[in-house]
Structure 1
Amino acid sequence: MDDYLDEEQYLGLEDEYDNSIYNNVTLLSANDLYQEFKDRLEIIKDKIGETSQVVLNILIFFNFEVKTIYEKLLLNDEFEQIKVQLEEQGIYKESKVNINDNLICSICEQTNAQGFSLNCNHKFCKSCWNQMIEIQFSSQIPLVRCLQDQCFERLPHQFLEQYPKYKQILIKRFMQHDDQITWCPGLNCENVFKCLNFSNSIKCPCGIKFCSKCRNEKHHPIPCDILKKVLEYQQSNDYWAILHASKCPQCGRLIQRTEGCFHLKCLCGQHFCFKCSGPWAKDHEQSFYTCPYMNTNKNPSKYALQLKDELQSINNNIRNIEQSVKTLKQQVKKVLLDDLLEYSEKAIQLFKTSKSFLFYKFHLMENKDVQMCEQTFQCFQEELNSCLIIIQKKVLEVQDNESLKERTMLEYINFEDSEKKVLRNLKIKKQLIKQYIIETLIK
């Protein structure tokens, strides 16, 4: 169970993880998940004193927000008034399915049809019921009302449980609002975990390490809220504008440059430089196509562009390592590649860690000095690139030697002390950068 906690240790240095064996992280099967849902249903049922069907109706009505349900039905002085409103919506109705033969369907008017009705006795054939069930489930709605207009009777929970899609929808809607349930963000990975305590690094069997709270790839020690802001900003129009425009230092207008030199004139009359967003000065006139301040000014476009380019570079490096190793395993058969695979995996994890450092550097841009962070990260990135070169060199050694393909074991893919030292130094630097981030967060 606890193997899913990432207790990574190297040279006596342990990552500053909040998780421990007490997190009780459990990988859940589909049946486990549905049982978790039913257990939660029983807890709510006991608290508000209603049947399972009514509780489920209430959950659906309040979009599975259990806290809101307790506030409305247990802690609100206007409970009776709210209950009346819910009764008008059919929330407290409990129907049972009545099987009918030789009925006349009220919708398609088919005669001698087989179908069913609810307590309201509105009769419809199986085909019409199934069409409505399919429509509701395709819209992720775990609720099927009577097909008669303005009728609030609904198919009971026990009847709908025969449909696997129904269970999947309930689980999905329930997971969104349960802090103990989290899922892996890995591409095409459907693994779901129960995590009794917050864990900033759960290791999924698919290889992804992720945060149990925000369900993004591991980003410790960057807080979830900072990561969320940067990721949302990357998807916003403001981010696009900053990448392609420059802000006037006088009025704040964003001006897009399509061609020509860096000298811009705003509608307010201010002359400024496209690159540094500073007022146009004599120093700029030394060259209209270069900026003497572009590497020192805290220009938002500079950092946004850096973030975009550096993230792209990191992602490319990760893909290159993964693809190189994958190709090597396909080309070279019966060859022991364990050392290379282990070294490559550690390098990939370090590249992923560097992405979270990058997000934090971009966050610091707004209100703190980023010079130290830039220098430290640049040094870390340079050594990471050395790691990439080492891996590429090892891969080429195997690919270039045709005779190796017939051998049962490749004995000389060993890493020299100097190559291992690169990895050790990166581990140490990673700890130092994390400590620096923690300290700046406290200030």
Structure 2
Amino acid sequence: MSDFESDTMDEDDFDYSQEDEEQDFVFEPVIPEKDIKRSYDVEYKCYSPSDIEKIQNEEISHVCNILGCTKENASTLLRHFKWNKERLIESYMENEDAVKKEAGVIMDVKEPKLITVPGFSCDICCNDQDNLLTFALSCDHRFCADCYEHYLTDKIKEGESRYITCAENCNLIVDEKAIQLLVKPEIYQKYKILLLRAFVDDHKSLHWCPYPNCENAVKCLITKAQLDTIVPTVECSSGHRFCFGCGLKDHQPAICDVVKRWLKKCADDSETSNWIAANTKECVKCFSMIEKNGGCNHMTCRKCKHEFCWICLGPWADHGTSWYNCSRYEEKESVDARDAQTKSRQALERYLHYYNRYANHDQSAKLDKQLYEATEKKMEVMQKSSDFSWIQVQFLKSAVDVLLKSRATLMWTYALAYYLARNSNATALFEDNQRDLEMAVEALSGLLETQITPENAAELRQTVLDKTEYVNRRRQILLSDTAAGHLEKRWEYSF
């Protein structure tokens, strides 16, 4: 028997049960990319109008059971206390009469009715006809049904819903049952919608999606005090991304205060009127006027074929991986720095450096949206010119999605960079991450403008997939590091 044979075991001799006991294989569940929580993400939950109505009714029912009152009275009390159940119940138990008086509630079981009163004359329209239908709340301030309807309809059309008081202007609130009895169905439906909107507006942790015609709401437990260290980007169930703190579109990684200051500064025509309307630039070699018609910053003059960067007008050959400082502002020393005019000129030059790059990414994102609209046609061409299925060509759409998100991120990095004090290694690291993302974005933008042919389809697909993944990773690195800097109070601002 050979040495090899002496060291082997027959299959029957192998103890599989012992091996199974020693090796306990546990496979971790695969978490989709969209569900992975990162350091710059915040916890939030989306609600539809029906969800919000359900929550509202649950709150009302809870208070009804505790206080032993009608749903209408419970809802009036909750609106008075901005839907703070704990504060309502505590105050009610301490001084029931004071709370009811302040909230405009009389706890009775009287159903709202339209009745006729012999010899009645309406104080508003002076109508004293027989069989005139009238209405009054528990305060007994009675008016004819038509006048009460006009009064309530006008209030609702003006957008009021929380505190519609008696037509005599006493403190008593006209509840939902009374309004349903008096106004037309379409006005009542408007009233219900206003109540729903007021419910969300009164909750600090609930915000409506700010996008036009979107009826979704988002709940996020972020306070105003946290907005100095957190950028609470949320996304409603319709896919609209916005900042929960200020209601603007997603502006990561810049905090709300920086965004507010930057937008105010950009709105100052004294600094931007001379150049903000400029849509063309001269070729630095032959001085021909060139208009940018794509998202990529790699420009080629049609007349002299000179290749240059749209941002800094420098030779494009210098924008390789070894040297790319287009995103970084270099402070300039001047012997006349003490001169007020020189300082002012340098301050304007610094501002224009950051605004030019901010506006460029905003413009490029709009141009890339045109590319997004053409992506579906490009996907069809790629499907016909290759063996790829419709699912396999979805990488183009994914690439454009990542590109638009990354351009929005880069856009706001320049607003943040303008206010950052450049006195630490942290700022230099931020600018390095910004530069790396910028390079990756421009490379991906250029790839997406490449013409697809049967010969390059397979190679282009793989290249775009790799570059998309790289861009997404660079964006996550930048956002994660900046979010950590906010929480650690690493950044110093020069406001």
TM-score normalized by structure 1? 0.65
- Work out the CA distance in 2 between the residues paired with 1:386 and 1:154: 63
1:317 aligned partner, one-letter code: S
Kindly indicate whether the alpha-carbon contact (under 8 Å) linking 2:60 and 2:75 is maintained by their aligned counterparts in 1.
yes
Q: 1:96 to 1:228 in 2, by over 3 A?
A: farther
- Work out the CA distance in 1 between the residues paired with 2:270 and 2:473: 35
- Work out the CA distance in 2 between the residues paired with 1:435 and 1:328: 30
Correspondence list, 1:176-215, <5 A: 176-178=201-203, 181-193=206-218, 202-210=234-242
Alignment partner, residue 449 of structure 2: 392
Q: 1:324 to 1:101 in 2, by over 3 A?
A: farther
Q: 1:127 to 1:322 in 2, by over 3 A?
A: farther
Q: 1:376 to 1:204 in 2, by over 3 A?
A: same
Kindly indicate whether the alpha-carbon contact (under 8 Å) linking 2:208 and 2:217 is maintained by their aligned counterparts in 1.
yes
Bigger drift between 196-205 and 121-130 goes to: 196-205
- Work out the CA distance in 1 between the residues paired with 2:265 and 2:407: 28
3-state SS of paired residue (2:214): coil
What are the superposed Cα offsets for residues 58-90 of structure 1, whole Å, 9 maximum, x if unpaired? Answer: 33334445565467556xxxx43x943752663
RMSD of Structure 2 on Structure 1 (CA): 4.8
Deviation (angstroms), 1:35:
1.5
2:130 aligned with 1:130: no
- Work out the CA distance in 1 between the residues paired with 2:239 and 2:337: 52
Unaligned runs of 5+ in 1: 246-275, 399-408
Match of 1:319 among 349, 366, 384: 366
What are the superposed Cα offsets for residues 352-381 of structure 1, whole Å, 9 maximum, x if unpaired? Answer: 333454454345349866344234313322
2:478 aligned partner, one-letter code: I
2:164 aligned with 1:144: yes
3-state SS of paired residue (1:98): coil
Match of 2:437 among 380, 391, 400: 380
Alignment partner, residue 40 of structure 1: 59
Larger Rg: 2
Alignment partner, residue 199 of structure 2: 174
2:27 aligned with 1:8: no
Correspondence list, 1:259-274, <5 A: none
Correspondence list, 1:19-418, <5 A: 25=45, 27-28=47-48, 30-46=49-65, 51-64=70-83, 69=88, 72-73=91-92, 79-80=94-95, 83-84=97-98, 87=101, 90-92=104-106, 94=108, 96-101=111-116, 104-110=121-127, 111=129, 113-137=132-156, 138-148=158-168, 150-160=169-179, 163-178=188-203, 181-193=206-218, 202-210=234-242, 217-218=249-250, 222=253, 227-234=255-262, 236=264, 240=268, 243=271, 281-282=335-336, 294=346, 299=347, 305-306=352-353, 308-326=355-373, 338-365=394-421, 370-394=427-451, 412=457, 415-418=460-463
- Work out the CA distance in 2 between the residues paired with 1:234 and 1:284: 26
Q: 1:340 to 1:237 in 2, by over 3 A?
A: closer
Question: Sequence identity of aligned pairs in percent?
Answer: 15
TM-score normalized by structure 2? 0.59
Q: 1:235 to 1:61 in 2, by over 3 A?
A: farther
What are the superposed Cα offsets for residues 329-363 of structure 1, whole Å, 9 maximum, x if unpaired? Answer: 58998976634322211211222333454454345
Kindly indicate whether the alpha-carbon contact (under 8 Å) linking 2:76 and 2:103 is maintained by their aligned counterparts in 1.
no
Q: 1:131 to 1:211 in 2, by over 3 A?
A: same
Kindly indicate whether the alpha-carbon contact (under 8 Å) linking 2:139 and 2:172 is maintained by their aligned counterparts in 1.
yes
1:324 aligned partner, one-letter code: L
- Work out the CA distance in 1 between the residues paired with 2:422 and 2:80: 42
Kindly indicate whether the alpha-carbon contact (under 8 Å) linking 1:41 and 1:52 is maintained by their aligned counterparts in 2.
yes
2:162 aligned partner, one-letter code: P
Q: 1:60 to 1:86 in 2, by over 3 A?
A: same
What are the superposed Cα offsets for residues 186-205 of structure 1, whole Å, 9 maximum, x if unpaired? Answer: 34322234679999665444
Deviation (angstroms), 1:24:
8.6
Q: 1:311 to 1:100 in 2, by over 3 A?
A: farther
3-state SS of paired residue (2:460): coil
Q: 1:318 to 1:244 in 2, by over 3 A?
A: closer
Deviation (angstroms), 1:108:
1.9
Deviation (angstroms), 1:174:
1.9
1:392 aligned partner, one-letter code: E
Q: 1:366 to 1:392 in 2, by over 3 A?
A: same
- Work out the CA distance in 2 between the residues paired with 1:383 and 1:327: 22
2:238 aligned partner, one-letter code: C
Alignment partner, residue 429 of structure 1: 474
1:314 aligned partner, one-letter code: H
Q: 1:327 to 1:26 in 2, by over 3 A?
A: same
- Work out the CA distance in 1 between the residues paired with 2:173 and 2:60: 19
Alignment partner, residue 269 of structure 1: none
Q: 1:417 to 1:328 in 2, by over 3 A?
A: closer
